[in-house]
Amino acid sequence: MEKKEKIYEGKAKIIYATDQPDKVIAYFKDSATAFDAVKKATIKGKGILNNTISSFFFQLLGEKGIPTHFIKKLSDREMLIYKVQIIPVEVVVRNMAAGSIVRRLGIPEKTKFEPPLIEFYLKNDELHDPIICEQHIYAMDLAKPEEVHKMKEIALKVNEIIKEFMEKQGVILVDFKLEFGRKDCQIVLADEISPDTCRFWDAKTGESLDKDRFRFDLGDLIEGYRKILEKIEKKGE
């Protein structure tokens, strides 16, 4: 597998072409951003942790039948993935009220949502990723109804799998963001699944073990991410 030119760089990752046109390499950076990149920093080791955690979750989901772009972890910072056409819609699943939904709607923090809530956000940095509804998706021709249905179906299955798994590790999956892509006309899970994109709370202490540590100065980010990695690595014990 030959790593070739850079084809895309985002806030947290760089995507490189390979000598195989249907496969690319995702490189995880040490950059941390919050509040539309108003707050940003370079945190040594963050990319290694996110790559390791994401690789674990993608493998777990693949074993449970979830279609993803993940092929394999290549190194500390790199994973090999299928090249997909990213759908510019972020899908957020909420098990409990936290973050923006508390600010937007005044719902008390820690309110449980049963069944889980699903929200859609337009993936557009210039517009600050605004919340949208299904009708907006169709009006803007971002995805077809059957694709949105599939995205929701996969998102809820991902929630069930990761929520149950993390509960066994003493961690609450509060909410998380997913991105999807098209591969061979099929919808597959893409991007990453890490403390950058998930809100994790310690079930006993309520300690935040995700990017909120950076957003709101709740503690050392690396310490929180390492705790997540340590907990998932103990799965076989």
pLDDT digits (tens, 9 = 90+) for 182-210: 999 999 999 999 999 999 999 999 999 99
What CATH number does the domain containing 91 carry? 3.30.470.20
Work out how many domains the chain is built from and give that number.
2
Q: What number of helices (H) and strands (E) belong to the chain?
A: 6, 14
Q: Is residue 163 part of a domain?
A: yes
Q: Is residue 41 part of a domain?
A: yes
Residues 100 and 210 in one domain: yes
pLDDT for the residue numbered 1: 80
Q: Is residue 227 part of a domain?
A: no
Residues 89 and 132 in one domain: yes
pLDDT for the residue numbered 234: 80
Q: Is residue 229 part of a domain?
A: no
pLDDT for the residue numbered 235: 66
Q: Is residue 237 part of a domain?
A: no
182 forms bridges with which residues in the sheet? 85, 187
Residues 22 and 93 in one domain: no
Residues 97 and 182 in one domain: yes
Sequence-ordered strand ranges (E) for 1-52: 3-9, 13-18, 23-28, 31-34, 39-42
Residues 99 and 156 in one domain: yes
Residues 129 and 203 in one domain: yes
Tell me, what DSSP letter sits at residue 51?
Answer: H
Residues 155 and 216 in one domain: yes
Residues 60 and 99 in one domain: no
pLDDT for the residue numbered 167: 97
Unique residue bearing structure tokens 């100065």: 217
Q: Is residue 121 part of a domain?
A: yes
Q: Is residue 135 part of a domain?
A: yes
CA distances from 24 to 10, 61, 69 (A): 15, 20, 10
**Long-range contacts at 214-220 (CB < 8 A, ≥ 24 apart):** 214/32, 214/34, 214/39, 214/41, 214/43, 215/34, 215/35, 215/39
The domain in which residue 49 lies consists of: 3-82
Residues 74 and 26 in one domain: yes
Residues 177 and 131 in one domain: yes
pLDDT for the residue numbered 236: 45
Q: Is residue 33 part of a domain?
A: yes
pLDDT for the residue numbered 38: 82
Residue ranges, the chain, pLDDT below 50 = 236-237
